[in-house]
Amino acid sequence: MTTERSTTPAPHERKVVLYRNGSVYTAADPFATAMLVDGDTVAWVGSEQAASSIADSSMEIIDLRGALVAPGFVDSHVHLTETGIALGSLQLGGVRSARQLLDAVAASDGEGPLLGHGWDESTWEDPALPAAEELERAAGGRPVFLSRADAHSALVSSSLAAAAGLAGLDGYTAGPQVKRAAHTAARQEARRLPDASVRAYQRRALREAAENGYVALAEMAAPHIGGVSDLRLAAAWNTSAGEAMPEAVPEVLPYWGELATSEEQARALLDGLGVSVRGLAGDLNIDGSLGSRTAALRSGYSDAAGERGSLYLSAEQAGAHLAACSLLGIQGGFHVIGDAGLDAALEALELAAAEVGEQRIRAAGHRFEHVEVADADAVQQLARYSVTVSAQPRFDAAWGNDGGMYAQRLGSRSRSMNPFASFYAAGVPICFGSDSPVTPLRPWSSVRACLEHHNHAERISARAAFLGHTRAGWRAAKYYNPMAGQLVPGAPASFAVWDVEELMVQVADGRVQSWSTDPRARTPLLPALDTGADPVCLQTVKDGTELFSSPALRS
């Protein structure tokens, strides 16, 4: 159901590049200091002494000066257009009160809808939100749409509410914050953008990704987010076999989150998209988010008596969807965060397996996004059906601290959230992403979040986290090339070069530190992540094509 692109350079364009005098993260040789790239393929990795004998005048030779070459990152859950909009709109992550938010709106210049992103009242001393009329006055009459940090609700002005026809929709209370159906309608009204603008926003997001070492991103498109036109524009950044690349950007791995009730309907959905997608999965929402209190919980929110979130799909609907996708041999899946939402998703697996057989379910490689609240039984069920969990480590870094949003919403239940180590121990396939713009495209910060999980029992090593951000991302997308995500001879030349302060082995359990850091363990080294600063990206390369280069690389 997917068409893979070819970026193999034409014979007259084929380049041979020798990287030397650095460190190469490779299973082929944990002490490698050099790598040879021939066109779109890694041709060799090895020692500095061997590099001296290989080098000749036909090659471009890049002196790494101690830099690290590592497989490029794969973000397993992003929203390109939303990321571009957030990067170019009013930044509200730093506001700490309704007054500060209104001041930021009043200081914003421009015409047309005023878009902003990132406010989070869980960090305010007084969580009271401004009134819709206050937003209207502060914006001078411009329609206002300010998405919450989790992107599952927003603040809207009275004029935008009227233009979007929110009255009577689920999730609209005549107040400033809109959720569920009202949020969808408000977002679509605020995002009435020409294709050229959407493409510009996507370009900005892709460049941001390339500058931070990403070689691919899983785009989670859905009808309630940007619609089919947004999906088609995102998929158009890729090329079909034989076509020239329109721009050097990371590869887009597109998903479409729309419900199918039967095999025939699933096939019709896929045929009607006009582009190839990797599955009917991603942001097909079973529930919402914890921040907006729309994630479905078994018992109520600790800070909102009587609220238990929203279940958008029944187990029967979700089961029919998984059965349909399994019969077609494609990935299905859902956005699911709360424990009641996960209960519905797991029941859906049982219903689908009863209809089409467990083997078909496992073979399809279904994926669930987020899965933040999962107990031990749920983890075992996910492993049984070989469901991949696509998780976001920086959610825990942002909200898992003492007194943070998780603790506010769930109380003591928050201790067991995002159980990364439990997933690994049970054999649940796991990959990592940012859910950008919810958290930024900063992959090493995401790796660090795995090492520093608020629950020590759920911490994982830097190596496991790095693999979850690289090779596992390709596998989760059922990518056609099984060698993607590693730097060994014959693998795709998709990597990033990093200026690092120190290389070391970092593990979650001190009991194994001694053997894993011994050179005899032959454990490849990764950047030290306790230095207070992330490694700096010097170059990003996808299939031999340079996506980004810092002037410092060749200076």
The DSSP element (H or E) to which 289 belongs, if any, is none
Name the DSSP class of 518.
S
DSSP string, 461-508: -HHHHHHHHTHHHHHHTT-S-TTTT--STTSB--EEEEE-S-EE---S
Q: Quick one: pLDDT band at residue 507, thresholds 50, 70, 90?
A: low
Model confidence pLDDT, tens digit, residues 243-300: 555 689 999 999 999 999 999 999 999 999 999 999 999 999 999 999 999 999 999 9
Q: Quick one: pLDDT band at residue 323, thresholds 50, 70, 90?
A: very high
The DSSP element (H or E) to which 326 belongs, if any, is helix 315-328
- Side by side, the strands of the sheet bearing 388-391 are 279-280, 331-336, 367-370, 388-391, 430-432
Cα–Cα distance for residue pair 5/207, rounded to 1 Å: 19
Q: Quick one: pLDDT band at residue 174, thresholds 50, 70, 90?
A: confident
Domains of the chain: 11-72+485-500+535-554 (2.30.40.10), 90-190 (3.10.310.70), 195-287+312-336+345-393+417-476 (3.20.20.140)
pLDDT at 514: 39
Averaged over 489-499, what is the pLDDT? 98
**Burial class of 288 by CB neighbour count within 10 A (0 to 12, 13 to 18, 19+):** buried
Averaged over 60-87, what is the pLDDT? 97
Q: Is the pLDDT of residue 480 over 80?
A: yes
Residues 440, 399 contacting (CB under 8 angstroms) = no
Average pLDDT value for the chain: 92
Q: Quick one: pLDDT band at residue 501, thresholds 50, 70, 90?
A: confident
Listed range (216-220, 314-318, 501-505, 535-539) with the worst mean pLDDT: 501-505
Which residues are CB-contacts of 131 (< 8 A; sequence separation ≥ 6)?
A: 175, 176
pLDDT at 205: 98
Q: Quick one: pLDDT band at residue 504, thresholds 50, 70, 90?
A: confident
Averaged over 453-474, what is the pLDDT? 96
pLDDT at 511: 43
pLDDT at 246: 63
Radius of gyration of the chain (CA): 23
Q: Is the preceding peptide bond at 437 cis, omega within 30 degrees of 0? A: yes
- pLDDT above 70 covers a percentage of the chain that reads 93
Model confidence pLDDT, tens digit, residues 11-50: 446 799 999 999 999 998 989 999 999 999 999 999 999 9
pLDDT at 382: 98
Cα–Cα distance for residue pair 366/382, rounded to 1 Å: 10
Which residues are CB-contacts of 268 (< 8 A; sequence separation ≥ 6)?
A: none
Cα–Cα distance for residue pair 14/59, rounded to 1 Å: 11
- Nearest partner of 107 among 92, 87, 125, 86, judged by Cα: 92
- pLDDT above 90 covers a percentage of the chain that reads 87
Q: Quick one: pLDDT band at residue 110, thresholds 50, 70, 90?
A: confident
CA dihedral sign, ordered 242, 244, 249, 255: negative
Q: Quick one: pLDDT band at residue 3, thresholds 50, 70, 90?
A: very low
For tokens 């699911």, the residue is 336
Cα–Cα distance for residue pair 185/181, rounded to 1 Å: 6
Cα–Cα distance for residue pair 343/435, rounded to 1 Å: 22
Residue type, 203: R
The larger pLDDT score, comparing residue 367 to residue 511, is at 367
Cα–Cα distance for residue pair 287/343, rounded to 1 Å: 11
Model confidence pLDDT, tens digit, residues 508-522: 655 444 334 444 456
